[in-house]
Amino acid sequence: MSIIAYSYPRHGKAIHSGLAIFGIAAYLTAELAEADSNTWGYLIHAYLGFGLGLSIALRLALGFSHSETLSFKGWSPLVLNQWKIALADLKSLLRLKLPDHQHHQGLAGLVQDFGLLIFIWMAITGTLLFIIQKDTGSIVFEIIEEAHEIGESLIPLFLGIHIGAVFLHTVTGNPIWKRMFSSN
């Protein structure tokens, strides 16, 4: 297997850290938000969610920039070639070989798209819940709350796939996690 060498700029690493820290911390404090919106637990969860929202906004802004490593150019689930590469990646995995190509391509790109979409979903629905607050019998609040809970159930799936892929790459001699933590 050839290892494609690239690393992320410091600001990209900081945003990834923001997504990971705020996203996981907000997920882990979700139970604290179940009570009244005037509790500390609710506010802790909400402000961690706002931190995630800021991290997402920064990531999206960089995605539409000219950054070579952070641009969304060619990194879209709407691009047919992305699905072709992902299918080839799945075939490679079935042969017990890890795919290796440019960052954000194929299956890796689709997993990263999935994660960003979940976090965007959670930030939008969480912000709406914070803005409209809980009105007794409000159907709009109930719908948004259910949508937020659907996203909450997808977070462990994404984290399992994402962290599992990093682990598989590491045990097969391609420690891709170093790209996020090494200095440039």
Distance CA 81, CA 65 (A): 21
The structural architecture, per CATH, of the domain 10-181 is Up-down Bundle (1.20)
26 in helix, strand or coil?
A: helix
Using CA atoms, how far apart are residues 76 and 69, in angstroms rounded to an integer?
Answer: 14
Place of tokens 């009570």: 35
The pTM of the full predicted model, rounded to 2 decimals, is 0.83
Residue 9 φ/ψ region, left for φ over 0, alpha for ψ in the -120 to 50 degree band, beta for the rest: beta
pLDDT tens for each residue of 94-138: 888 877 776 678 888 888 889 999 999 999 999 999 988 876 568
DSSP 9: -
Residue boundaries of the structural domains of the chain: 10-181
- 5-49 residue pLDDT tens: 566 788 888 999 999 999 999 999 999 887 677 789 999 999 999
| Closest residue by Cα to residue 162 from 23, 69, 66 | 23
3-state helix, strand, coil in the chain (%, to 5): 70, 0, 30
**Do 143 and 125 form a contact (C-beta atoms < 8 A)?**
no
Q: How far apart are CA 63 and CA 41, in angstroms?
A: 33
